Structure 1
């Protein structure tokens, strides 16, 4: 089924997204610089951009920059006076992302902060609240990242968490995979938190069988 899923994603991209030199250059540069090919798909990137626009986001927080592919999609959703803060552990990834963002004409809108995201989030006090948060980093810390997103957001803030189905691995209560353990902890936290309204959607496509959480701060 994987080839069929890829073909459908290609069809969607061809009919609805078209060619995009900045995004194509970003993926090529990421590969040349040795970054893993784990970016969101083009269709998923467009979905993120549309959701940010629907939310009327002026301030976006991204946890997990990689080479800036999803960052570009999100930054494009911002109004002229909008801003995006993105957190990246690896300095090399951040340098690649900065180049990609500059090439896309979005460097002025994006603040890349380097270091463990938990530390960066803890240091973010006194900043204006974020309207939209996209989480796509180490899965072991997802619950902590959502807690931080609530603290740094406001009533109505949209939170998206990627890779929460893991080809059905989320069902395995006995898994020793830290990513699955972290994802299950995320679901437990979401279900028990009265300050959030949340659901999760399964997806198939170029990135295989996975899914994302969509939540709203109450």
Structure 2
């Protein structure tokens, strides 16, 4: 099977199951026009995030890695009245594009964008007493996945979901000899999750318009 086939299948299901959404389409168009890398989640993956947040009944969400705010919009739309989402972005240009996309979606009263290196922003959130969060979406630099996961675990409750994107790395995650920092980061993260008794976790491979990758999902089973 080719990426062309995977993309066609994505399009088939998205055309049938995801109604036309000018706001989300405009977000992707603006991201491309601003020269942001084309690494947003696919529409059907965005809907999956939305469904998971809805099933979870999430009222508080932390996203690590905003890019242009496409996944942010999907997640924020699942929040009930009074819900809040904090998203962390290190690139000022990305954050500005995301801010405009989120404002156009009418979600600027729900979403707070924090600009800065994610680990620094997490330290600030800790100092401010944020948490526990009901759902975490980790989609930033893979080298720091372990630190992001550990922070999420320490700011969760029993039942919190921790979703981590891009863990398959086009299959390279199984290469023990890889010197790719992202692959090394994902392998450290996976080993950390495997050894953590406070979560129950799995990982899934995905193929589609974004190629061959996958995500990990963990549910917190014990309080800190």
TM-score grouping bracket, smaller chain normalisation: over 0.9
What are the residue-to-residue correspondences of 1:37-48 with 2, within 5 Å? 37-48=38-49
1:162 lines up with 2:157 in the alignment: no
1:108 is paired with a residue of what secondary structure? Answer: coil
Residue 17 of structure 1 is matched in structure 2 by 18
Residue 138 of structure 1 is matched in structure 2 by 141
2:178 is paired with a residue of what secondary structure? Answer: coil
1:175 is paired with a residue of what secondary structure? Answer: coil
Offset of 1:128 from its aligned partner?
Answer: 3.4
2:201 is paired with a residue of what secondary structure? Answer: strand
Residue 70 of structure 1 is matched in structure 2 by 71
Residue 95 of structure 1 is matched in structure 2 by 96
**2: distance between equivalents of 1:116 and 1:128?**
19
Residue 181 of structure 2 is matched in structure 1 by 178
Offset of 1:154 from its aligned partner?
Answer: 1.0
**2: distance between equivalents of 1:90 and 1:164?**
22
CA offset digits 1:33-90 (Å, max 9, x no partner): 1111100000000000000010010000000000000000000000011000000001
* Pairs aligned (count): 218
Q: CA RMSD in A?
A: 0.7
Offset of 1:18 from its aligned partner?
Answer: 2.0
Task: Please say which of residues 138-147 and 117-126 is displaced more in the overlay.
Answer: 117-126
Moved >3 Å (runs of 4+):
none
Offset of 1:186 from its aligned partner?
Answer: 0.7
**1: distance between equivalents of 2:47 and 2:91?**
25
2:133 is paired with a residue of what secondary structure? Answer: coil
Scaled by the length of structure 1, what TM-score is found?
Answer: 0.99
1:107 is paired with a residue of what secondary structure? Answer: coil
What are the residue-to-residue correspondences of 1:120-131 with 2, within 5 Å? 120-125=121-126, 126-131=129-134
2:157 is paired with a residue of what secondary structure? Answer: coil
What are the residue-to-residue correspondences of 1:190-209 with 2, within 5 Å? 190-209=193-212
Residue 188 of structure 1 is matched in structure 2 by 191
Offset of 1:123 from its aligned partner?
Answer: 1.6
**2: distance between equivalents of 1:159 and 1:136?**
11
Query: Gaps spanning 5+ residues in structure 2: where?
Result: none
Query: Gaps spanning 5+ residues in structure 1: where?
Result: none
**2: distance between equivalents of 1:23 and 1:76?**
11
Residue 218 of structure 2 is matched in structure 1 by 215
Offset of 1:101 from its aligned partner?
Answer: 0.3
**2: distance between equivalents of 1:209 and 1:61?**
25
